[in-house]
Amino acid sequence: MLGHIRRTVVVAVVAFAATVLTFFGGGAAFAHGFSSTVYAKISAGDEGHIRTELELEYDLLVVSAADSGDDDPLFKVGTAAFEAGDPGAQATALNTHAPTVLRYVADRLSVTAKDAPCRPTQVGDAAIGARDGVPYARLLFDWTCPERVAEHEVRSRLFPDDEAYVKDTKTIVTYRLDGRSGSAALDAANPSFSTAQTAYQRFGEFFLLGAEHLLSGIDHILFLLALIAGSRRLREIVLAATSFTLAHSVTFLLAALGLVDVPGRIVEPVIALSIAVVAGWHLWGLWRRGAHATDLEPAGRGHLSLDRRGWIRLGVVFCFGLVHGLGFAGALGIDEAWSWTLLWSLLVFNVGIEVVQLAIIAAIFPLLFVLRRRAPKAGLWATGVVSAGVSIMGLIWFVQRVFGS
């Protein structure tokens, strides 16, 4: 029986490896690579003026702002500077073609006062920074409004889906305007906000943003699948999910509030490695328990008791949860000064993540548990295949993220 179970594990690994390499071998190193995030800081300027500091992915800005595709001068110079990895040349390309950049931004980002549009002008030169190792263009604009009003509306359509370069662009706005301060999350479904919006509307946007982030973050979902596949009883998945939640909530809040800062080039590879380790842990457990016909643990323990291996696994999940929290904060990218409004926005974003996480567990774990009970060998195959695939994807992402491919 031992040989049969081990052959089952090996075949599961090989079968899923073939599938993964076929469909995902050429995938992006970063699981969120199909989306982009724009960061906007908006504040009151002189009488009737508004200041906007924008941060946009440099390469997307170049290809999107180009008037005539590959033949556009900005495209040629800008992409050459991007491929060379030269921040100075990248800034020069944007500054040389500043009218083209301004026209693109003005067409897709608007500030209005009582439905009257404010007119933007660029202030100073573009600068190049980086977020998670990706070049970002920093642009400063001054908006002249026709009259001074008590509320303004901001609308963003930067990098829309119809440009076909990315999907699901988010614009994270932090503002101090009209005697109010706060944050807003804009996307295709909610492209605008008003400084007069209610707290309920603002928090609703962050709840949806948190939920969408987990759903679109394939790496976080695979980590959850690894936890589910490796949990043999309800108490194990409850304790593992609780440990993961507590850990990533702590680092998420600390990082989002600017109290902890770990570069994305460190966080992203460790997240990928965590996926491989947690899934591989279950495969190793199946291998060692190969003499048993099922991967269900023996009955008779207390409802919340764990063996030594279970407590070690819980500690590993907690440590990796700390790293995943840094990843969640990096995706949100808010670096606004402390405020209670910001704290509540972050908490609501985190709640959105947790709701989706619990929904995934509630949908998958009962089905897998029933399968393990009624058809132990099929349950063994199911958990082995899931763990094998998740582990292989984690290793692929880890290598890609370390070497930057």
Full DSSP string of 35-55: --EEEEEEEE-STTEEEEEEE
Residue 187: exposure state from Cβ atoms within 10 A (0-12, 13-18, ≥19): middle
Among candidate residues 357, 369, 374, the one with its CA nearest the CA of residue 233: 369
Residue 303: exposure state from Cβ atoms within 10 A (0-12, 13-18, ≥19): exposed
Buried b / exposed e over 316-352, threshold 16 CB at 10 Å, is bbbebbbbbbbbbbbbbbbebeeeebbebbbbbbbbb
Q: How many helices (H) and strands (E) does the chain have?
A: 12, 11
Asked whether the predicted pLDDT for residue 204 surpasses 80, the reply is: no
Q: Is 133 left (phi over 0), alpha (psi -120 to 50) or beta?
A: left
The average confidence (pLDDT) of the chain is 79
Average pLDDT over residues 151-164: 87
Quote the CA–CA distance of 295 and 282 in Å, as a whole number.
9
User: What pLDDT, on the 0 to 100 scale, is given for residue 299?
Assistant: 43
Asked whether the predicted pLDDT for residue 196 surpasses 90, the reply is: no
Q: Kindly report the pTM of this predicted structure.
A: 0.62
Quote the CA–CA distance of 96 and 392 in Å, as a whole number.
46
Q: Which two tokens stand for residue 114?
A: 């009582």
Contact 208, 285 (CB under 8 A): no
User: What pLDDT, on the 0 to 100 scale, is given for residue 331?
Assistant: 66
Asked whether the predicted pLDDT for residue 272 surpasses 70, the reply is: yes
Average pLDDT over residues 98-116: 90
User: What pLDDT, on the 0 to 100 scale, is given for residue 141?
Assistant: 94
pLDDT in tens, 378-395: 777 888 888 888 889 889
User: What pLDDT, on the 0 to 100 scale, is given for residue 32?
Assistant: 38
pLDDT in tens, 359-373: 999 998 888 888 888
User: What pLDDT, on the 0 to 100 scale, is given for residue 238?
Assistant: 86
- Binned at pLDDT 50, 70 and 90, residue 206 comes out as confident
What ranges make up the beta strands (E) of 123-252? Answer: 127-131, 134-144, 152-156, 170-177, 180-186, 192-194
Sign of CA dihedral 294, 241, 392, 168: positive
Quote the CA–CA distance of 29 and 25 in Å, as a whole number.
10
Average pLDDT over residues 343-352: 81
Asked whether the predicted pLDDT for residue 333 surpasses 70, the reply is: no
Contact 274, 320 (CB under 8 A): yes
User: What pLDDT, on the 0 to 100 scale, is given for residue 137?
Assistant: 95
Q: Which two tokens stand for residue 58?
A: 């440099």
Quote the CA–CA distance of 159 and 108 in Å, as a whole number.
8
Buried b / exposed e over 195-232, threshold 16 CB at 10 Å, is bebeeeebbbbbbbbbbbbbebbbbbbbbbbbbbbbbb
Q: Which residue has the higher pLDDT, 391 or 215?
A: 391
% of the chain exceeding 70 in pLDDT: 80
Asked whether the predicted pLDDT for residue 275 surpasses 80, the reply is: yes
User: What pLDDT, on the 0 to 100 scale, is given for residue 241?
Assistant: 87
* E strand or H helix that includes residue 56: strand 49-57
Q: Which residue has the higher pLDDT, 395 or 337?
A: 395
pLDDT in tens, 11-24: 444 444 444 444 44
Among candidate residues 264, 287, 326, 363, the one with its CA nearest the CA of residue 3: 287
Asked whether the predicted pLDDT for residue 186 surpasses 90, the reply is: no
State CA 257 to chain mean position distance.
17
User: What pLDDT, on the 0 to 100 scale, is given for residue 148?
Assistant: 75
pLDDT in tens, 225-269: 888 888 878 888 888 888 988 898 888 888 877 788 888 788 889
